[in-house]
Amino acid sequence: MWSFGISLWEIYSFGRKPYLRIPLGDVVKGYRMEAPEGCPSEMYDIMKQAWDLEPDNRPTFADILKRLEHLRVITD
């Protein structure tokens, strides 16, 4: 799930390299990348939840699918 959140960030940042010049220790301590410019807040919320330090607190792919389907419906 963590990697999925990173992949979303890369998509919305148009392929920028994540964690550029950020020490791994800062990531482990809770540093989270800012939302890419133009990224919808709903998608950034998914990213942040995917990056929860506690794996059991991260959403499942089934949860994410439901949220994405809901977003598609309300934005059509």
- Predicted TM-score (pTM) of the model is 0.88
Given this model, what pLDDT does residue 20 score? 86
State the DSSP string of the chain: -HHHHHHHHHHHTTSPPTTTT--HHHHHTT--PPPPTT--HHHHHHHHHHT-SSGGGSPPHHHHHHHHHHHHHHH-
pLDDT tens, position by position, for the chain (76 residues)?
999 999 999 999 999 999 888 888 888 888 899 999 999 999 999 999 999 999 999 999 999 999 999 999 988 7
pLDDT, position 41: 95
> In the prediction, which pLDDT does 16 show?
93
